[in-house]
Amino acid sequence: MGRFLESIRNGSDACCVVVSDSGFTLVRVDGREAEFNILARQVVDYDNGGFVAFPVSDGLDGYESVFVIPTT
């Protein structure tokens, strides 16, 4: 697992991590919307491989979660 993938899997103040058999989901913490949107955009835009990210919109102009599936 690459450094970036490992760091996001550890979570942050802006999200909690829900682990599943095929990957993990970053879930936004209420009150941390702006921080989570920045993190989600970094995950979605990351282009060095190692995983695929599926963001879930909050219906406005941000994200409520990102499902991440490692590929290596």
Q: What is the pLDDT of residues 36-68, one digit of tens each?
A: 999 999 999 998 888 999 999 999 999 999 999
What pLDDT score was predicted for residue 47? 86
Where would I find the beta strands (DSSP E) of the chain?
15-19, 24-28, 51-57, 63-70
What pLDDT score was predicted for residue 1? 56
**Contact between residue 27 and residue 36 where contact means Cβ atoms under 8 Å apart:** no
Q: What digits encode the pLDDT tens for the residues 5-22?
A: 889 999 899 999 999 999
CATH number of residue 44's parent domain: 3.90.1070
What pLDDT score was predicted for residue 49? 81
CA distances, 40 to each of 33, 37, 50 (Å): 10, 5, 16
What pLDDT score was predicted for residue 2? 80
| Counted domains in the chain | 1
Q: What are phi and psi of 42, to 5 degrees?
A: -60, -40
Domain that holds residue 33: 3-70
Q: Which helix (H) or strand (E) holds 43?
A: helix 33-45
